[in-house]
Amino acid sequence: MARRQTPSQTVGPFFAYGLTPEQYGFDQMTSLGSGAMAGADTDGTRIRLEGRVYDAEGAVVPDAMIEVWQADAQGRYAHPADGRGSNAGFSGFGRFGTGTDPENRFIFDTVKPGSVGAGQAPHLNLVVFMRGMPLHAYTRVYFPDEAEANATDPVLALVPADRRGTLIATAKPGSSGGYVFDIHLRGDRETVFFDV
């Protein structure tokens, strides 16, 4: 190969005005991604996915940026490589910094994705960026009410059984359509990260 891949570097602590300006109150630029992923016209079951990022000592990370990429309710991605055509008006992309919520959560208001096929259970693809992380980390979010589909998902099958639970959100008690997905960087509950 003629060229080598450009090295990654940390997103650092001051990404907010460049990547999530509106969320952080900067009016100089519009945001290209936010936590409000589903519009009024988006088909599908509304869900709220929220969570926190915990460091190796269990402290909540207040300066992480989370990106999600998901299929629409019919399991189609808004991308040319998915030839099935996508749900008009739903981009499937969300981006949220953990610095504005009083509890330092990331919060995505979206629709529950459908299965994208190939035996895959409904899931969101999620990337973690933060100060202190030189290279972003990929993970996936699965749903607790899809036990049957999760049981045959080919990606979950790659994960040791005792760690699969780290990839499955929990239903938020007392909410309708609320799910919690906490991310643990290290320790007993360390979230599974993938080499994709």
Please report, as residue ranges, which positions from 61 to 90 form the binding site for another protein (by CB under 8 A): 61, 63, 67, 69, 71, 77-82
Q: Does 36 bind another protein (CB under 8 A)?
A: no
Residue 177 gets which letter from DSSP? Answer: S
Q: Does 19 bind another protein (CB under 8 A)?
A: yes
From 48, 169, 176, select the one nearest 112 (Cα to Cα).
48
Give the shortest CB-176-to-another protein separation in angstroms. 26
Q: 3-class DSSP state for residue 26? A: coil
Q: Does 8 bind another protein (CB under 8 A)?
A: yes
State how beta strands 178-180 and 46-51 pair.
parallel
Nearer residue to another protein within complex by CB, 26 or 182: 26
Q: Interface residues for another protein in 165-184 (CB under 8 A)?
A: none
Q: Does 18 bind another protein (CB under 8 A)?
A: yes
Q: Could you tell me the sign of the dihedral formed by the alpha carbons of 56, 14, 99, 70, in that order?
A: negative
Nearer residue to another protein within complex by CB, 148 or 195: 195
Give the shortest CB-182-to-another protein separation in angstroms. 15
Are the CB atoms for 131 and 11 separated by under 8 Å? yes
Q: Interface residues for another protein in 94-123 (CB under 8 A)?
A: 99, 116-118, 120, 123
Q: Residues 13, 39, 85, 144: which binds another protein (CB under 8 A)?
A: 13
Q: Does 157 bind another protein (CB under 8 A)?
A: no
Number of residues that bind another protein (CB under 8 A): 77
Q: Does 41 bind another protein (CB under 8 A)?
A: no
Distance CA 105, CA 96 (A): 9
Q: Interface residues for another protein in 121-150 (CB under 8 A)?
A: 123, 125, 127, 129-138, 140
Query: What is the widest separation between alpha-carbon atoms in the chain?
Result: 56
State how beta strands 46-51 and 106-111 pair.
antiparallel
Nearer residue to another protein within complex by CB, 99 or 178: 99
Residue 8: CB atoms within 10 A of its CB come to: 11
Distance CA 40, CA 12 (A): 34
